[in-house]
Amino acid sequence: MHHHHIRLPPGHSSVRAYIDSLCAFIARYRFLIDFHAVDFFTHDYWNSGVFPAEWRVLKDDPSVSYDDLLHLASFGTVKDGWPDSLKEFVELSRAMALPRDAVPLPGLAVAESLDNKISYGMSPKKKHEVLLLAALIDHLASQSNITNIMDIGAGQGYLDACLAYTYQHTVIGVDDDEIQTCGAKRRSELIEKIFSSSKNRGKVVGKVFHINRRVGSGESFETLLKEAELGMAQGAGEKKPAASHHAQALAERVTSVPPSSNASPSSTAHASWLLCGLHACGDLSPALMRHFLNSDAKVLASVGCCYNHLSESAPLSTSTSNTSNLTPPPPPSLPTPTIRAPPPRTITTTPRPNGGITTHSAGFPLSKHLTTRDCTLGFTARMAACQATCRWTGDPVASKQSFKRHHYRALLQKLIVEKALIPGLDGGDGDDDDDATTTTTKITVGKIPRGAFEKGFATYARAALVKLKLGADDDDVVVVVDDGSGGGAKAAAADMMMMMTDLTALAQYERAHESREKEIAVVWTLRAMLAEALESLILVDRFLALVEAGGEKDVWMGLPKADL
DSSP-derived letter for residue 329 is: P
387 pLDDT higher than 60: yes
Distance CA 511, CA 40 (A): 17
Model confidence at 478, pLDDT cuts 50, 70, 90, reads very low
Distance CA 430, CA 152 (A): 39
Rank 104-108, 259-263, 289-293, 533-537 by mean pLDDT and report only the highest. 533-537
User: Are 273 and 150 contacting, i.e. CB atoms less than 8 angstroms apart?
Assistant: yes
Distance CA 478, CA 44 (A): 26
Distance CA 166, CA 138 (A): 10
Model pLDDT, residue 476: 38
The residues, any chain, with a CB within 8 Å of residue 221's CB and separated by 6 or more, are 270, 291, 292, 294, 295, 297
pLDDT in tens, 192-233: 888 887 677 777 888 999 998 888 766 777 777 777 777 666
pLDDT in tens, 30-82: 999 988 999 999 999 999 999 999 999 999 999 999 999 999 999 999 999 99
The residues, any chain, with a CB within 8 Å of residue 487's CB and separated by 6 or more, are 423
Can you tell me the mean pLDDT for 315-323? 50
In terms of C-beta distances under 8 Å and separation of at least 24 residues, what long-range contacts does 478-485 make, across chains too?
478/444, 478/445, 478/446, 479/422, 479/441, 479/442, 479/443, 479/444, 481/422, 481/423, 481/424, 481/441, 482/424, 482/441, 483/423, 483/424, 483/441, 484/424
Q: Which of 86-90, 169-173, 360-364 is least confident?
A: 360-364
Return the half-sphere exposure (C-beta side, CA atoms, 13 A cut-off) of residue 248: 13
Model pLDDT, residue 354: 53
Q: CA torsion, points 547, 548, 549, 555, in degrees to nearest 10?
A: 0
Q: CA torsion, points 548, 362, 274, 259, in degrees to nearest 10?
A: 90
Model confidence at 558, pLDDT cuts 50, 70, 90, reads low
Residue 329 C-alpha from the chain's centroid: 30
Model pLDDT, residue 352: 52
Q: How far is CA 458 from CA 134, 341, 502, 508, in A?
A: 47, 30, 9, 9
User: Are 247 and 212 contacting, i.e. CB atoms less than 8 angstroms apart?
Assistant: no
Q: Which of 120-124, 258-262, 326-330, 376-380 is least confident?
A: 258-262
What are the residue ranges spanned by the domains of the chain? 4-99+314-389+530-538, 118-309+544-563, 396-525
Radius of gyration of the chain (CA): 26
pLDDT in tens, 244-279: 333 343 334 333 333 333 333 334 444 588 999 999
Burial (CB count within 10 angstroms: exposed 0-12, middle 13-18, buried 19+), residue 402 = middle
The residues, any chain, with a CB within 8 Å of residue 5's CB and separated by 6 or more, are 555, 556, 557, 558
Can you tell me the mean pLDDT for 239-243? 40
For the chain, give the mean pLDDT: 78
Bridge-based pairing of strands 312-314 and 347-351 is parallel
The closest alpha carbon to 334, from 19, 20, 29, belongs to 29
Model confidence at 111, pLDDT cuts 50, 70, 90, reads confident
The closest alpha carbon to 353, from 336, 337, 334, 366, belongs to 366
92 pLDDT higher than 80: yes
Model pLDDT, residue 556: 73
118-309+544-563 placed in CATH 3.40.50: yes
Model pLDDT, residue 52: 97
Model pLDDT, residue 314: 80
Distance CA 183, CA 488 (A): 48
Return the half-sphere exposure (C-beta side, CA atoms, 13 A cut-off) of residue 206: 22
Rank 215-229, 352-366, 506-520 by mean pLDDT and report only the highest. 506-520
Rank 436-440, 511-515, 558-562 by mean pLDDT and report only the highest. 511-515
Model confidence at 412, pLDDT cuts 50, 70, 90, reads very high
Model pLDDT, residue 79: 96
Model pLDDT, residue 105: 78
User: Are 347 and 43 contacting, i.e. CB atoms less than 8 angstroms apart?
Assistant: no
Distance CA 73, CA 94 (A): 10
Distance CA 273, CA 282 (A): 23
Model pLDDT, residue 107: 82
Model confidence at 400, pLDDT cuts 50, 70, 90, reads very high
Can you tell me the mean pLDDT for 486-508? 65
Q: Which of 12-26, 187-201, 290-304 is least confident?
A: 187-201
Model pLDDT, residue 472: 37
348 pLDDT higher than 70: no
Model confidence at 237, pLDDT cuts 50, 70, 90, reads low
